Amino acid sequence: MQQESHPVRSKFKESNELIRTLEAFRDAPATMRMVEVNTGILRPNICRYVSRLLKEGKIRLVRFNYCPHTHHIAGFYSSDKKHLNTTSTDHQLLLF
């Protein structure tokens, strides 16, 4: 018989992974795959956490570049304060 996950335990795991994801992006701009390799958190969970952190303004897309792990173009995100306080990279919106 398979045991069901305890709701309090699963919420604690989610908040722990969310904090670890935020801290992983603080060191240097990184892709989701880079954070997955460094933390061991599954990429679908990281994607969900990044979406939440973007909405809360705690993380920012810094640039697009080639990921060192996948060798494909990917977004580099950062939660470092110097990247969060920069102006928008979409300068066309500032023209109106």
One digit per residue, pLDDT tens: the chain, 96 residues?
455 555 555 666 668 999 999 999 998 899 999 999 999 999 999 999 999 999 999 999 999 999 999 999 999 999 887 766 655 555 555 565
Number of domains in the chain: 1
CATH number of the CATH domain containing 79: 1.10.10.10
Q: Which residues 6+ apart lie within 8 Å of 45 measured at CB?
A: 17, 21
Q: Which pTM was predicted?
A: 0.72
- Tell me if 2 is assigned to some domain: no
- Tell me if 61 is assigned to some domain: yes
**Token pair in block for residue 3:** 């045991």
Which long-range contacts link 71-78 to residues 24+ away (Cβ below 8 Å)? 74/31, 74/32, 74/33, 75/31, 75/32, 76/29, 76/30, 76/31, 77/25, 77/29, 77/30, 77/31, 77/32, 77/50, 78/25, 78/26, 78/28, 78/29, 78/30
Q: State the residue range of the domain holding 28.
A: 8-95
